[in-house]
Amino acid sequence: MKCKIWLLVFTMVFLTNLALPALTTAQTPEQLFDEGMSAYRAGNIAQAYDIFTRIAEQGHAYAQFNLALMYEDGRGVEQSYAQAVYWYRRAAEHGHADAQFNLGIMYLGGRGVEQGYAQAMYWYRRAAEQGHAMAQNNIAVMYTNGEGVTQSYAQAMYWYHRAAEQGHADAQFNLGWMYLGGRGAPLDYAQAVYWYRRAAEQGHADAQFNLGWMYENGRGVTQDDTLAIYWYRRAAEQGYEEALHNLEILLSR
């Protein structure tokens, strides 16, 4: 088993299309931002870009973040990782946690910047200290693997816990993996089962498979083929081939 690093880049989420009010010079940056979002929802991408740029240059962190997303994905502008990094950095320096997280991702993957674990860790930490669960999980994985930091299971355990307690499924799975192998804490099958279950109940296929294995082999729980079959089936329904293999073996007994 390997720890999984979460590399999800945030996207803008919209609700319903709204009518676009006319711009006036008396509008506040927040009002202009709302108009930019309305323009985007209405498909007026060029107008949204103009509005976001106008207030981003004045230091509006959410507009800066949205510009970065537009440049990263090429939405209404020519795709440019360099410009995405520029605007993520502007927003991140204003304390925008999602921008800090995404900037860490850019450094981790070397997109628009020279690849650098130390810089990725720096920006992940800035976001993590604000409670950003995905950043906390990524920090833990970097400590697990010794990427940009001295390898430390103790530090990995600390950050996995912080993310897992917020309900982050990958962190919960990774925490189960830590307890199962006695990494950063004494081996504890019961704790492994607990965290695998938390992730499995959210639909995490690896956790469902591992929980099935724990029931099949009686690790941290009373041995129970029925529950092993249940969790293997849950994982198999998501296309998890090893779970399907184990399920077929149990059902043939």
Question: What does the domain layout of the chain look like in residue ranges?
Answer: 30-188
C-alpha–C-alpha distance, residues 188 and 177, integer Å: 10
Q: What angle do CA 41, 47, 49 make, to 5 degrees?
A: 90
Handedness of CA 239, 241, 243, 248 (dihedral sign): positive
Q: For tokens 């724990």, name the residue.
A: 214
| Nearest CA-CA partner of 152 in 189, 121, 123 | 121
What global pTM score does this model have? Answer: 0.86
Per-residue pLDDT, 27: 87
CATH class label, 30-188: mainly alpha
Tens digit of pLDDT at every position of the chain (253 positions): 444 434 333 333 332 333 434 455 568 999 999 999 999 999 999 999 999 999 999 999 999 999 999 999 999 999 999 999 999 999 999 999 999 999 999 999 999 999 999 999 999 999 999 999 999 999 999 999 999 999 999 999 999 999 999 999 999 999 999 999 999 999 999 999 999 999 999 999 999 999 999 999 999 999 999 999 999 999 999 999 999 999 999 999 8
* Count of Cβ atoms closer than 10 Å to residue 182 Cβ: 12
The 3-state DSSP class for residue 201 equals: coil
* Count of Cβ atoms closer than 10 Å to residue 202 Cβ: 15
C-alpha–C-alpha distance, residues 243 and 253, integer Å: 16
125 Cβ contact partners less than 8 Å away, ≥ 6 residues apart:
135, 139
Handedness of CA 26, 87, 73, 171 (dihedral sign): negative
Q: What are phi and psi of 75, to 5 degrees?
A: -90, 100
Q: What are phi and psi of 46, to 5 degrees?
A: -65, -40
| DSSP 8-state code for residue 146 | T
| Nearest CA-CA partner of 102 in 133, 48, 65 | 65
C-alpha–C-alpha distance, residues 81 and 85, integer Å: 6
Handedness of CA 3, 142, 156, 145 (dihedral sign): positive
Q: Distance from CA of residue 226 to its chain's centroid?
A: 33
